[in-house]
A and B are shown apart, each in its own frame.
Chain A
Amino acid sequence: MSLYLRQVGVVVWKDLLLELRTRERIAAMAAFAVLSGVLFSFATDRSVVRAQDIAAGLIWMTIVFDGLLGIGRTFHIEAEDAAMQGVLMSPAPKDAIFLGKAISNFALLYAVALLVLGVFMLFFGLEIGSSPGAVLLALGLGSLGFVALGTLFAAVSSGTRMGETVLPILVFPLLVPMVIYGAGATGRLLAGRPVAEVAGNLKMLAAFALVALAAGAGLFRFVVED
């Protein structure tokens, strides 16, 4: 078991180190988050709708689009010089590689999700409500479910001629529960409602993330086999 965790850890470390050194994906995703906040501010007429009525939905859609931008490139580094073959030939089981990739993607996406939240609070003048911990938990569980599906289907789409173009078509229908429960919970929390009211949503987000992670870990080997 400890060997397995170390194998997962090695993949996480490799990806995060590469990301820290190049800062390619994080820079693009962070810029995307801020610029989306700017565009959404101009796209909504605040004299017609109140900011807090639409902010939760915009926050989650920004995370989804930003996630596609970054997570879609999960396997780009390995695409060069057939590095993916090297990763797959390592003694680490395929599910450990998947989990490692998903965890490093999660670190990336969760950081960006927090930035998105901050950007919208700043630009839309939102209050975080009475339970910031629950907001952060909802964003974390949503990001986890997203990276589980995103990592698996990034592997699928990078094996096709269509590349990242096909990724939204694969992922969006499956993200419906995440968006519904996530935006529902965030909207209520930002409106200052008690955590008890969104406990069901948070549980569904957690269950969704767990099933998506298990499915990804179990099916990844069929995607990358030769």
Chain B
Amino acid sequence: MSITGIRRAGTVLAALGLLGLGYVYWLSFFWVSTEASQGIVQRIFYVHPPAAWTSFLAFGIAALTSAMYLWLRDERLDWAAQSAAEGGMVFGTIMLTTGPLWGKIAWGTYWTWEPRLTLTLLLWFIFLGYFMVRRSTENPDQGKRFSAVVAIVGSLLIPFIHLSVVWFRSLHPEPVVITPEGPSLPGDMLTLLLTSVGVFTLLFAGFFMLRYALEGLRHELQQRARRAIA
């Protein structure tokens, strides 16, 4: 697919995702039934896990395309890695802001070392480092390699981080733990959650393609400028 094609497809997907997001908000405010024990605040559930899922997906894509970039050295893989990493930061930030807001009311505290919340926080910082090394090298190619190395090492050590955080938490049990995801989730809540996951994924796909197309256009511009000088 050409860059223009990707840009058009990205625009369509992002537009659909934004419309879908409006629909998800409408459903979660006016359609879905209120959860019995937590009440209104539980409605943040239709934003928080979908954002978490999308950021994990995005960081996974970033790590995978980073590894493929180091292997194949195709510029397009680096554009993909960077675009996915930016998407991961955006959705990770949504997850990290909605988590404490919900936690304050559901658990009575803004922050707990809940393993998935902790993992997202650390992933967020790993990819902060990803962007910092990327932007502070003299030679852009070096920055691409450095950031790819950061993403790969991060993804290799994620299992250790997860296991250790779970172990740490087993030492410090929280007084009240409400696990939001039970197998006994009522039908309409499950439907809305899955819809929201689909919408967030669609939105990410749109942003990802738009961002990728932007890198492609930048690249094209540089090529043209070089040719003009020559």
The residues of B that contact A204 with a CB separation of less than 8 Å are: 160, 163-164
Also in contact, A152 and B137, with CB within 8 A (given A160-B146, A176-B161, A204-B163): no
Describe B's contact surface by its main secondary structure. helix
Among the 9-residue stretches A4-12, A103-111, A133-141, A164-172, the one with 4 or more Cβ atoms under 8 Å from chain B is A164-172
Interchain CB contact under 8 A, B157 and A212: yes
**Residue from B128, B150, B156, B164 in contact with A211 in the complex, judged by beta carbons closer than 8 Å:** B156
Q: How many A-B residue pairs have CB under 8 A?
A: 95
Q: Which of B9-17, B165-173, B210-218 contacts A (4 or more CB under 8 A)?
A: B165-173
Task: Tell me, yes or no, whether B18 is within 8 Å of chain A by CB.
Answer: no
List residues of chain A with CB within 8 A of the CB of B165. Answer: 176, 180
CB-defined contacts of B157 to chain A, threshold 8 Å: 174, 177, 208, 211-212, 215
From the candidates B145, B161, B164, name the one contacting A225 in the complex (CB within 8 A): B145
Contact B149 A160 (CB under 8 A): no
Complex contacts, B167 vs chain A, CB 8 Å? 180-181, 184
**Partner pick for B125 among A173, A180, A208, A211, CB 8 A cutoff:** A173
Within 8 A of A (CB), among B76-131: 122-123, 125-126, 128-129
| A180: nearest chain-B partner, CB-CB | B164
Shortest Cβ gap from A142 to chain B (Å): 12
- Whether the Cβ atoms of A166 and B126 lie closer than 8 Å is no
Q: Are B145 and A149 in contact (CB under 8 A)?
A: no
Given A169-B128, A173-B129, A181-B167, are A223 and B146 neighbors across the interface (CB < 8 Å)?
Answer: yes
Q: Which residues of A contact B184 (CB under 8 A)?
A: none
Is there an interface contact between B136 and A161, defined as CB atoms closer than 8 Å? yes
Within 8 Å CB of B222, what residues of A? none
Complex CA distance for A215 and B70, rounded to whole angstroms: 14
Q: Does A74 contact B (CB under 8 A)?
A: no
Does A149 contact B153, Cβ atoms closer than 8 Å?
yes
The answer to whether A219 and B136 touch across the interface, beta carbons within 8 angstroms, is: no
For the complex formed, measure the closest distance between the CB of B221 and the CB atoms of chain A, giving whole angstroms: 25
Are A180 and B168 also in contact (CB < 8 A) when A159-B137, A169-B128 are? yes
Number of B residues whose C-beta is below 8 Å from A? 32
Measured CB to CB, the closest approach of chain B to A178, in angstroms, equals 8
Q: Which residues of B contact A157 (CB under 8 A)?
A: 133
What 1/0 flags go to A190-226 for Cβ under 8 Å of B? 0000000000000010011001100110010011010
Residues of B with C-beta under 8 A to A223:
145-146, 149
Does residue A156 face the partner (Cβ distance < 8 Å to B)? yes
**New contact pairs (14) apart from A161-B137, A173-B122, CB-CB < 8 Å:** A156-B150, A161-B136, A161-B138, A169-B125, A174-B161, A181-B164, A181-B167, A184-B167, A204-B164, A208-B160, A212-B157, A215-B152, A215-B156, A222-B145
**Which residues of A come within 8 Å of B, CB atoms?**
149, 152-153, 156-157, 159-162, 166, 169-170, 172-174, 176-177, 180-181, 184, 204, 207-208, 211-212, 215-216, 219, 222-223, 225
Shortest beta-carbon contacts, A-B, top 7: A177-B164, A177-B160, A160-B136, A180-B164, A170-B129, A173-B122, A173-B125
Can you identify 7 A-B contacts, CB atoms within 8 angstroms? A156-B150, A170-B129, A174-B126, A181-B167, A222-B145, A222-B149, A223-B145
